[in-house]
Amino acid sequence: MSSGTRRTNSSDPLLRAVQDGDPACPDGRALASLGRLMRQHAALPASHDLTAGVRARLNNDTQRHVDLEDAIEATWNGAGLPDADLTRLAGLVRMATELPGPVDLRGAVRRKLQASARTPEIIALDATSRWRIWSFVVAGHVAAALLMVAFHQSSLQRAAESSVVAVAGSGASAGPTDSLQPGPGHGVVLPAQWSAARGGAADLLLLRRFPELREEARQQYSLMPSREVVGGGLAWLLAGQAADGFFGPRSDDLDLDLATQGLAMLAVQGEGLGDGDRLAAVRRGAEWLVTARSATAPQAAMSRALTALALTDAALLTGDRYLRAHAERALAELDDGQELSPGASGLGGFALLATELANAGDLTVSTRLVERARRDLGRPLPAVDADAGRIGLAIFARQMTGLRGQDSTRSQLASLRLLVPVAGGIADPLGWFFATCAAREAGGDDWTAWNTAMQVRLVPLFQWEAGRAHLPAAAARHAGSLPMVGDTVATATALLNLQAGYRFLPLAR
């Protein structure tokens, strides 16, 4: 553009003068000369056509793109000579992505195939058949829901009518059978004999899944006297859950906190998943466990075992694959070569319960760990002066491994009868846990004696406030000395004992 044709609309007189030679400006002429001079010397030395350059670069890019595509094809699709850089990249990635550990899926796949053979193969059905089945399923669920509502009404009425339920009473509920059988509404009728309840049912957590079944189990297995404190204790635990998922105040000792959380989770999960709020509480609680143990692996054997057990229980109850993966990881970490020991009050037995439950629930748990837990925790005989928990673990382990009929098991059951909780004695819900499990599995008089005494001892110790109940730490052995978490441990362990009638279907073989 020539300077002669330049006309600016700028309001700045100086700029106008430089660009156009404004005569009104005092040094207008000089400024115009300056402008002209600058323009002349700032001009391109020659006209420049960029077309060729742009075209060349575009071609170059296209060529590089084509070259890269060819190189990729050659390296990964076998079309020509592989590119050296890409081959190095491929090798690097392969090196960095090797599996961290060996893989042997044969056992797990076998188990799944066996389980799969027991389930109907709807996959092989045509669309019409599937539609028909789903219609029946939906209709069945609607009918079942209606029956459950009716059953719930009648059972509440029945509970209200019987203000006192004999603890020692057997067959309190109408129509006990010899095995777990299909029934109206809730799906099963509980058997009179606990050991017969397992039958062919694979779902060990069945009784927890429906409130009606828990109610039936409480009546059937003489747990009605503790029904209210269990409900109050559950409400207390849930009310105390912090936003991060931990139940109650923390001690800041990670091992202790993990064990406490494990116990609280088991107690909450003992009452099933209930409504959406309960499920949310379980998920938050489990997430706390997952996060805490991922950050720092628990060191104490009991913390590790309780974490594995609580996650296993949560995974089976929710059917959640994420929890299942973490439960399996926690179980795998139990198998670190460290010695497993029954310990005081048989508390080492939580590891045995975790492995047995995982094994029965088809979670992946190494056979070596299952065997080791049975050998190290189940087989050792308790000392002559062992407490109820230690003897209980010995019995429970024998029951689970098919040795319930052995003389040694019967002899230990007789020993346990001498150690039933007594009025005025120290309540030791943590130490009693395996004794309660053993008595529950044994059933009959052993269960009646233990269960009656345990409830009589525990129930009055609960303190009520605003519809919630908790067992104060000071009232329970072990819990009183725990910093901050004592109340949670005492309440949770008491609940674990009082839920024994419906926690699992019989684990004993």
Partner 1 sequence: MPLALPLPPMTDVPAPATILDADQQVMARIREGDQEAVVTLVERYQHELTGFFYHLSWDQLIAEELAQDVFVNVYRSRERYQATAKVRTYLYRIAHNLWIDHLRRQKRHVSIDAELGDESLRLVDVLQAPGGEARDHEDRDELIRARIQEALADLPEGQREVFILANNHGMKYQDISVTLGIPEGTVKSRMHNAVRSLRDALGDLVEEQ
* Binding status of residue 113 toward partner 1 by CB under 8 A: yes
By CB under 8 A, which span of 135-143, 191-199, 287-295, 420-428 interacts with partner 1? Answer: 287-295
Nearer to partner 1 (CB atom), residue 7 or residue 106:
106
Q: How far is residue 237 CA from its own chain's centroid?
A: 18
User: Is there a contact between 306 and 259 (Cβ–Cβ < 8 Å)?
Assistant: yes
* Binding status of residue 316 toward partner 1 by CB under 8 A: no
Helical H runs in 162-226?
206-209, 211-220
Helical H runs in 271-387?
276-295, 301-318, 321-334, 349-360, 367-373
Question: At 270, is the secondary structure helix, strand, or coil?
Answer: coil
Nearer to partner 1 (CB atom), residue 77 or residue 481:
77
Nearer to partner 1 (CB atom), residue 100 or residue 424:
100
List the one residue from 12, 61, 67, 85 that touches partner 1 (CB under 8 A). 85
Secondary structure tally for the chain: helices H, strands E: 20, 4
User: Is there a contact between 487 and 470 (Cβ–Cβ < 8 Å)?
Assistant: yes
Shortest distance, position 362 Cβ to partner 1, whole Å = 8
* Binding status of residue 204 toward partner 1 by CB under 8 A: no
Shortest distance, position 69 Cβ to partner 1, whole Å = 6
* Binding status of residue 368 toward partner 1 by CB under 8 A: no
Contacts of residue 226, defined as CB under 8 A and 6 or more positions apart, other chains included, come to: 455, 458, 459, 498
List the one residue from 42, 117, 383, 423 that touches partner 1 (CB under 8 A). 117
Q: Of the candidates 239, 323, 335, which has an alpha carbon nearest to the alpha carbon of residue 281? A: 239
Binding flags for partner 1, 89-108, as an x/- string (CB under 8 A): xx-xxxxxxxxxx-xxxx-x
Nearer to partner 1 (CB atom), residue 327 or residue 435:
327
Shortest distance, position 64 Cβ to partner 1, whole Å = 11
Nearer to partner 1 (CB atom), residue 104 or residue 336:
104
Q: What is the DSSP string of 82-111?
A: PPHHHHHHHHHHHHHT--SS----HHHHHH
> Please, which of residues 53-82 interact with partner 1 by CB under 8 A?
68-69, 72-73, 76-78
Q: What is the DSSP string of 355-396?
A: HHHHHHTT----HHHHHHHIIIIISSPPPTT--HHHHHHHHH
Nearer to partner 1 (CB atom), residue 210 or residue 288:
288
Name the CA radius of gyration of the chain, rounded.
37
User: Is there a contact between 214 and 221 (Cβ–Cβ < 8 Å)?
Assistant: no
Tell me the number of residues near partner 1 by CB under 8 A: 58
Nearer to partner 1 (CB atom), residue 196 or residue 332:
332
List the one residue from 25, 290, 353, 420 that touches partner 1 (CB under 8 A). 290
Nearer to partner 1 (CB atom), residue 364 or residue 497:
364
* Binding status of residue 423 toward partner 1 by CB under 8 A: no
By CB under 8 A, which span of 178-186, 223-231, 326-334, 426-434 interacts with partner 1? Answer: 326-334
Shortest distance, position 324 Cβ to partner 1, whole Å = 7
* Binding status of residue 325 toward partner 1 by CB under 8 A: yes
Structure tokens at 256: 């202790």
User: Is there a contact between 391 and 419 (Cβ–Cβ < 8 Å)?
Assistant: yes
List the one residue from 131, 136, 322, 464 that touches partner 1 (CB under 8 A). 322
Shortest distance, position 21 Cβ to partner 1, whole Å = 55
* Binding status of residue 120 toward partner 1 by CB under 8 A: no
The CA distance from 176 to 197, in Å, is 11
The CA distance from 498 to 450, in Å, is 11
Q: Of the candidates 163, 164, 162, 170, which has an alpha carbon nearest to the alpha carbon of residue 448? A: 170
**Contacts to partner 1 by CB under 8 A:** 68-69, 72-73, 76-78, 85-86, 88-90, 92-101, 103-106, 108-110, 112-114, 116-117, 121, 123-124, 243-245, 280, 283-284, 287-288, 290-291, 294, 319, 321-322, 324-326, 328-329, 332, 364
